[in-house]
Structure 1
Amino acid sequence: MWIKSGLLPLLASYIVALVLMVMPMPAFMEPWRPDWLSLVIIYWVMALPHRVGMGSVLVLGLVADILMGSVFGIYATALLIMAYPAIRHFQRIRNYSFTQQAIVIAMLVLIKRVIVYELEHVLNDAVFQLAYLYPVISSTVAWPWVYLILRKYRRHYLVR
């Protein structure tokens, strides 16, 4: 039942994104870790706007808060604000070329990173470092591959 409805493949992609978010990496690559959860959320919002909405994003954001050990609600708030333009303009973004989509992804991930930083700064006195914005670049570069992999995955498991 879960596979036929497409719920299991959808949940599996979220779990993979959450694992990639906390998976250990070499120290020199850690600042360049793409924002996997944001990329997966944006893909599913564009591909299945009738199934993936603000409720899904909120739940994933709260799970991300728990995994990252941040104040409860920081990632949820940032992901909701980041996902809203993608949900609102999914038809337009879907028709963009990979280059145009990558620019939109860069802007959305930048918005998310800035919101997380601002909330962390206000609540925990976080100090800004330029390396905090490196995931914007790596997420932009990773977007075409994430898009193609998830599209093939969605078609293979007939997620609709």
Structure 2
Amino acid sequence: MNLVPRAGALMPLSILLVYVLTLLPLPGALLYAKPFWLGLFIIWLSLERPRNGRIGFAFCLGLGADLLLGTWFGEHAFRLVVMAFIVGRFRARLRFFPLWQQTLAVGALLLNDRIVVLMLRSFDAPVSTDALYWLPASTGMLLWPVLVVALDDLRQRMRVRSG
């Protein structure tokens, strides 16, 4: 039995998985460490599959997240568009960084996302943060190498299967 999905079903399954990971409840203190799965997905798509990781796709994925999570309509869309734009702009450099440098760049992108969230939420009311507010960026940065290796392995299996 082959567990690798067909190429045509891979993108919808990936989107579903990212939404499930985003909605997944975590217990207690782990809730503060939950990475921005949508952001990691858009970064990876923008680096590896630039046709699929465009700004319009990021916008639609973000609107879906806004509907699922009940946040301001457009908040996640704006965040993902900013992320897709930055990665698209520097794709030629980021793609060929060694994994450790790429991990640091992803950490910087995720920190930038936290700043964008602060900016967006400060339009409504004054926002104060503590040290735990920045933890999802660190968690996402630490998960990046694992995700890249796993997704590259999946892509290799897809090539072998289709080739």
TM-score (norm 1): 0.88
| Offset, 1:94 | 1.2
Q: Secondary structure at the match of 1:29?
A: helix
| Offset, 1:11 | 2.1
1:74-153 mapped onto 2 (5 Å cutoff): 74-153=75-154
Query: Residues 85 and 7 from structure 1, CA distance in 2 versus in 1: closer, same or farther, beyond 3 angstroms?
Result: farther
The runs of at least 4 consecutive aligned structure 1 residues that moved more than 3 Å come to 124-127
Query: Residues 25 and 88 from structure 1, CA distance in 2 versus in 1: closer, same or farther, beyond 3 angstroms?
Result: same
| Offset, 1:126 | 4.1
Identify the residue that residue 33 of structure 2 maps to in structure 1.
32
**Native 8 Å contact 1:40 1:146 kept in 2:** no
TM-superposition CA deviations, 1:103-160 (whole Å, max 9, x none): 110111111121122212212544323211101110110000111111222333349x
| Offset, 1:75 | 1.0
Identify the residue that residue 16 of structure 2 maps to in structure 1.
15
Q: Secondary structure at the match of 1:157?
A: helix
**Native 8 Å contact 2:59 2:81 kept in 1:** yes
**Native 8 Å contact 1:20 1:36 kept in 2:** yes
Query: Residues 154 and 123 from structure 1, CA distance in 2 versus in 1: closer, same or farther, beyond 3 angstroms?
Result: farther
Structure with the larger RCO, 1 or 2 (CA within 8 Å, 6+ apart)? 1
Paired-residue identity, %: 27
Partner amino acid, structure 2, of 1:150: L
Structure with higher Rg: it is: 2
Measured on the aligned residues, the alpha-carbon RMSD in Å equals: 1.8
**Native 8 Å contact 2:46 2:87 kept in 1:** yes
Range with bigger deviation, 121-130 or 50-59: 121-130
CA distance, structure 2, for counterparts of residue 8 and residue 72 of structure 1: 28
TM-score (norm 2): 0.87
Gaps of 5+ in 2: none
Identify the residue that residue 46 of structure 1 maps to in structure 2.
47
**Aligned residue pairs: how many?**
156
